Amino acid sequence: MDVHITLKGRGDLAAQVYRQLLDAILDGRLRSGERLPPTRELARRLEISRNTVAVAYDRLVADGFLVGRAGAGTFVSAEPVRGRAAPKGVVRPRAFWREVEAPKAMQGARYDFRVGVPDPRLFPMETWRRLVARELRVSAAAYNRPSGYEPLREAISRHIGISRSVHAGPDDVLITNGAQQALDLIGRVLIEPGTCVAVEEPGYPPARLLFRSLGARVAGVPVDAEGIDVRAIPRAARIVYVTPSHQFPLGTPMSLARRAALLAWAERRRAVVIEDDYDSEFRFGERPLEPLQSLDRAGRVIYVGSFSKTLLPMLRLGFLVAPASLAPALRAAKQLSDWHSDVPTQAALARFIDEGLLARHIRKATREYAARHAMIAETLAGDERLLLIPSTAGLHLCARLAPGVSVRPVPGLAVESLEAYCGESPAQPGVVLGYGEITRDDIPEGLRRLRMAAAPEAAGPLP
């Protein structure tokens, strides 16, 4: 282990070496069992006598912090007893970042209805391990192209062309670390301080916060049963972020008429539409409507997708398809951001798609999620306190609360509030029920607890 030691002056050098090694041990920078450099080597690096270093080592051995092993060297023998915190400092972040709360760790619950969490038990982990292990052996060690691993771009262009009718070739696909990085790259390329970005209300909070962090002026636009209200989009908006296939979080699809109106609006206003097609693979009912990207004839739609919900969140792989006029800037932004996404993971995903394993996994997962979706919908059908919003896709359902009803905390039950998805507009009382994590066996009891929790303030629990 290389140890950084700084000597000042020509005073008691052995004491300086002793004190700095002791601090490193107590701080935990040198851990129990780690080997220190030989006295001769450390003395040479510090340009002092070997005897000076030996004196420091001997004191630490005598104090019980080091131990010498014949023929092996000198090792740390003590566990750290305290940690050294970074300086508090006086530098302050921009005002926006003083308003944003640090992410909180997700706390699981027995009856877990959190949103956006797929079931890892459905994922073919052993198959994935085999693919990744193979790519770790054969993938090139050099830097890759910012746009992503070419076979994966080819596989994605085929996949979204077949499954979603998206018009894109391999050169139109840019691989990202999830949908969130895709939105970040788009924002870096298109947003200037003060740019007006319209978002759905209620909508996806991380997108709203991301655009604000880049200096945008974010405007919430109401959503009704047909999707975003195009007439309510501010004239100043230059970017519109929408989730047309499965509105987040309400779950309703944008009607074909509303899609046409949004594209016409973007053409008139010379604006850009960001289409986030999250959860589009999991559909349980009618055939999905055409994506905005496939209806776009003017090149104003940027299509964003992700494999985080389809496969596993830990993979952090997504993609975007942009008009050719934006492609060079987006590739440059990706290179400046992190150069490229993990190559072995990209290569493994390319094989996963090409060998038909993705399609097989989606079919299997869709059957399971459809069963969970049906259980929740059937249980809450006709409930007078939890008014279910119809949805036929994705990993969650949404229910509005009847007037005068609120949801009280219940031990062991994790449910998200619809209010959390509202920006500056009046909050909409309701709950969002994810079913990616909870099992079918636990859904009935979880919903019973939810129905007990959803009651008028003056009323007792439901029987």
Cis peptide before 249 (omega within 30 of 0): yes
- φ, ψ of residue 169 in degrees (nearest 5): -100, 175
Are 44 and 32 spatial neighbours (Cβ–Cβ below 8 Å)?
no
Cis peptide before 170 (omega within 30 of 0): no
C-alpha 157 chain-centroid distance: 22
Helices and strands (H and E) in the chain: how many: 14, 18
Q: Minimal CA–CA distance to 119: which of 431, 329, 434, 445?
A: 434
| Tokens of residue 432, six digits | 């969002």
Q: What is the DSSP letter of 75?
A: E
Q: Minimal CA–CA distance to 199: which of 191, 207, 189?
A: 207
Which ranges of the chain have pLDDT less than 70? 1, 78-86, 103-108, 139-142, 457-463
Query: Alpha carbon of 86 to those of 15, 19, 27, 78, 319: distances in Å?
Result: 24, 19, 11, 23, 37
Predicted TM-score (pTM) of this structure = 0.83
**Sequence-distant (≥ 6) Cβ neighbours of residue 222 within 8 angstroms:** 201, 228, 229, 232, 425
Query: Alpha carbon of 290 to those of 79, 90, 161, 163, 294: distances in Å?
Result: 61, 52, 11, 11, 6
Q: What is the DSSP letter of 233?
A: S
- The region that residue 84 occupies, defined by phi over 0 for left and psi between -120 and 50 for alpha, beta otherwise, is beta
CA–CA separation, 146 and 161 (whole Å) = 22
Task: Determine the residue type at 193.
Answer: P
Query: Alpha carbon of 191 to those of 159, 177, 240, 263: distances in Å?
Result: 30, 20, 12, 20
Burial status of residue 163 (CB atoms within 10 A of its CB: 0-12, 13-18, 19 or more): middle
CA–CA separation, 359 and 348 (whole Å) = 15
pLDDT recorded at residue 175: 97
| Tokens of residue 79, six digits | 């566990």
